[in-house]
Structure 1
Amino acid sequence: MGQEEPRYQVVKDFIRKGIAGKQWKEHKRVPSENELVDMCKVSRMTARRALDELTEEGVLYRVQGRGTFVAPKKLHSPLLEIRNIAEEIQNRGAEYSNELLLLQKEVCPPHLLNRFALEEGQQVFHSIMVHKENAKPIQIEQRYVNPNAAPEYLNQDYKSITPNVYLSKVAPLTEAEHEIQAKEADPFMKVTLKLQELEPVLCIDRITWSENILVSFCQLYHPASRFSLTGRFKTQHQLTEL
């Protein structure tokens, strides 16, 4: 007699079957823990484990305070190729453009002081840019830059050169760390990225170093329906900052 399938696996199979059958389509909410308890006749702990594992596998994603949703297939890849967005768009045969919304020197935010090894009151460079493909916004880039690594950051013409290209020249990337998560879009993101109703954003928090100097802390926001991750990986010597 074969071993009985674990109950959490039964719940996972139930959700996967519902997704495959289009019962729950991309970006649609799947049943909550409490709903799964009733639907699958399992404990809440079992339902939570099933949702947690499917989220870790990239089948689902969570939006705080809203629930758990079906992830688009392009979210399944666990690795992200670090690349220059302007070059990427041009390689697709599309037209790249950007809109610079902010470029200034300001007091370093408290949560970044330790990362940049700065004292309270010291300043960093701060920029916000919208990257566009064929005039359609596909990414908001919010970047904090270490003045010690790129002292002329504020003096560049970012219509002809992107922050990525400039930083790559003056402080070549040797190490990068990133975190990817889905977030609920705020009003600024909804308007700027022209998001669909209830569409979340994918946020990439990226930290980059040149040798032992932290160069940049960057937050990249993408419309979930217009962004994909790749599974390609390069060694540190080949990395190019996004």
Structure 2
Amino acid sequence: MQPRFVQIKSAILRQIETSQMKAGDKVASENQLAEQYSVSRMTARRALTELVEEGILLRSQGLGTFVSDHRPMSSMLEIRSIQDEIEQRGHIYSNVVLTKQAVKANSQQSAWFGIQTQDNLYHTQIVHLESSVPIQLEDRLVNPLWAPDYLQQDFSRTTANQYLSQVAPLTQADHSVEAILAAPEITEILNIPPSQPCLHIVRRTFSTNGIVSFASLYHPGNRYRIGGHLNFHPSDLGERK
């Protein structure tokens, strides 16, 4: 049996998913939820707090808690597995592997990795789905020097991010984000019309050994968003004046 706070989260998510509650609608208070579900106020608070942290709800001081933008939100401040993101929202994760092969680096790819043209790289294309809906196309190149068994992995059991984090722990990354109109083959994979903008994230990750992977991540703009929360220490603010 699910913990009571998980039951409350699931009930709120169902109301949002079935449009019983929409973006901007006010959610029942902790006291109201505690009474409705016969739980402690602390249990009700935990359910609301986790939904706020996941970007589903938005808390406004003195006004209450409201349904946030309906699109899932990924943080710009950390690199997480897409599976973890989806499951944290209480949804079902699945994927479809489109490509898994060894390739020879072209001139552009060799520049990305700092290797020679025609050196070996591993290439995967994986569609990640949230409750059976495509939410990300991951097009990834991996340096086999730092992840020699990459192509032998069962990506229905682990994501590329999870595997690479184990064999070549992340030490740094650089990435960029832009809005694009994706190529027809990408819009077909994501099951969106050609006129639908996509969020395109380009990310290169490093371990202590060197550059591990270079990934292009495509998200339907109407199903995904990116954000984060920053806490500043007073001394930091002073330094920026």
Paired position in structure 1 for 2:33 = none
Which sections of structure 2, spanning at least 5 residues, go unmatched? 1-68, 232-241
Which sections of structure 1, spanning at least 5 residues, go unmatched? 1-71, 235-242
Q: 2:104 aligned with 1:107, yes or no?
A: yes
Candidates 217, 226, 231, aligned match of 2:228: 231
Residues of 1 paired with 2:204 and 2:171: CA distance? 11
Equivalent residues in 2 for 1:9-48 (5 A)?
Answer: none
Q: By how many angstroms is 1:91 displaced?
A: 0.7
TM-score by length of 1: 0.62
Q: By how many angstroms is 1:220 displaced?
A: 0.1
Paired position in structure 2 for 1:215 = 212
TM-score by length of 2: 0.63
Candidates 180, 185, 199, aligned match of 1:183: 180
Q: By how many angstroms is 1:126 displaced?
A: 0.4
Q: 1:178 to 1:157 in 2, by over 3 A?
A: same
Identity of matched residues, %: 41
In the alignment, is the contact (CA less than 8 A) between 2:171 and 2:208 conserved in 1?
yes
How many residue pairs match? The answer is 163
Residues of 1 paired with 2:157 and 2:182: CA distance? 29
Q: 2:134 aligned with 1:133, yes or no?
A: no
Using CA pairs below 8 Å that are at least 6 residues apart, which structure has the higher relative contact order? 1
Residues of 1 paired with 2:184 and 2:76: CA distance? 29
Residues of 2 paired with 1:86 and 1:160: CA distance? 10
What code does the residue aligned with 1:87 have? Answer: D
What code does the residue aligned with 2:106 have? Answer: P
What code does the residue aligned with 1:151 have? Answer: P
What code does the residue aligned with 1:135 have? Answer: S
Q: 1:233 to 1:152 in 2, by over 3 A?
A: farther
**SS of residue matched to 2:222:** helix
In the alignment, is the contact (CA less than 8 A) between 2:146 and 2:209 conserved in 1?
no
- Deviations, residues 138-171 of structure 1 (Å, cap 9, x unaligned): 0000000001110000111111011111000000
